[in-house]
Structure 1
Amino acid sequence: MKTLILSAIAATALAGGVAHAEDFSPNAKGDFIVHARITQVAPDKDAAILTAAGAATGLKAHVKDDIKPTLGFTYFLTDKVAVEAILGTTEHDIRAQGGTTDVLVHKTWVLPPVVTLQYHPLPAARVSPYVGAGINYMLFYSSKDKNGFTVKVDDGFGYALQAGVNVKLKDNWLLNADIKKVYFSTDAKINGGALKAKVDLDPLVSSVGFSRKF
């Protein structure tokens, strides 16, 4: 996914370098951009599964990556400052792994809306990078227990850091590549609390797609 993002940026930036300046417009206060992206949500690491008393079981909870289409909406408060909200949902398998054990215990959908405040230092450039920071809320829904296990994962708030780039094309179209690091921890209870895990999901949210400015 990272390779796809970098390749897309490089190819479009190269093409944009030979275009005329009048083919695109600079960022301006009041601009509204809609992003249609392909997004990968990749949780950071596994979490140790413990007994209710806190003893190690030798197992870890592994949350699988997922790729889905997402939408993003950016509104420019000034030519350099914007607010973005993203909307999308992904489905993740949760597996208990360790030694010779590798069993699916839960499947869940997650709705992780993220709202960030962005800074665009080069509003008049064709290749316009940005950075941002904001908050998110992780909402787990349509969950299904598997293989005789019951799993409860808590919803909650987190925060996010962001970096990205808009490559301005003709007729108010853009190519967008975006990476967010979302920091979020949750408690998972297995079999009514007989087992538990403190899961630092901290997913890397990587996106690439086309956008339209209005």
Structure 2
Amino acid sequence: MQSPVEGGIHARDVLVRLRGISIMPQVGTSSTLSTLNVNVNNAIVPELDFTYMIRDNIGVELILATSRHQVTSNLGALGGVNVLPPTLLLQYHFNHQGKIRPYVGAGLNYTYFYNDGLKAGGQSIAVSHSSFGPALQAGVDVQITKTLFVNADIKKIWMRTDATLGGASIGTLRIDPLVVGLGVGMKF
């Protein structure tokens, strides 16, 4: 018989996590954006994710979060843009029966850029509103009770958008954030 803290995770379990995440863009640019030395600020936001365990040690996770980032250049502030990157990951969970359960994941994100209010020299900067990119993840769940656990997680997400000014291309902005999170989760 298992104690209240034992139990692990098993096929058909659903894990729901709520994390506080720090989004740290690893910015890259091309063309005119490189000349302008464009940068994107960090953001701290909540994140919600759902994992369905297909097998005892294999899960599929959907990550939901949105953030607003301020964009700057050597011309000064260019404004802000919101980013919504739902991400789907296939995960492998090590030690699925243990109290300490590390995992790794790989998958795909679809990034939607919205509410962009970017301007340079009084002209609006338009950004393409979506992109697809890969995502990698590593984390650990530490079981506290049979259904409650704490979580630490790190992800690398590749996202990019093309920018135009007055209809002319001014380059590609790669945000490619490193995302670090801490939170709690429940097993259902």
TM-score (norm 2): 0.90
Give the total of aligned pairs.
Answer: 185
Partner of 2:180: 206
| Residue matched to 1:4 | none
Report the counterpart of residue 110 of structure 1 in structure 2. 83
1:1-214 aligned within 5 A: 22-50=4-32, 58-97=35-74, 101=75, 103-146=76-119, 148-154=122-128, 155-193=130-168, 196-214=170-188
Q: Which runs of 4+ in 1 moved over 4 A?
A: none
Give the whole-Å Cα distance in 2 for the aligned partners of 1:83 and 1:48: 34
- Quote the RMSD (CA, aligned, Å): 1.9
The answer as to whether partners of 1:34 and 1:212 remain within 8 angstroms in 2 is yes
CA contact (8 A) 2:4 2:146 kept: no
Deviations 1:79-104 (A, max 9, x none): 1000000111000111122xxx4x11
Q: TM-score w.r.t. structure 1 length?
A: 0.80
Higher Rg of the two aligned structures:
1
Structure 1 distance, partners of 2:25, 2:131, is: 16
CA displacement at 1:188 relative to structure 2: 1.5
> Where does the alignment leave 5 or more consecutive residues of structure 1 unmatched?
1-19
- For residues 186 and 109 of structure 1, what CA distance do their matches in structure 2 show? 12
| Structure (1 or 2) with the greater helix fraction | 1
Shift of 1:50: 1.5
The answer for the alignment partner of 1:11 in structure 2 is: none
CA contact (8 A) 1:46 1:63 kept: no
* Cα distance in structure 1, aligned partners of 2:123 and 2:43: 22
The answer to whether the 8 Å contact 1:177/1:207 transfers is yes
Query: What is the CA deviation profile of residues 40-64 of structure 1, one whole-angstrom value per residue up to 9, with x for unaligned ones?
Result: 221102425528xxxx7x3211111
CA drift of 1:197 comes to 2.2
The gaps in structure 2 that reach 5 residues or longer are none
Q: For 2:107 and 2:28, locate their aligned partners in 1 and report how far apart those are by CA, in whole Å.
A: 25
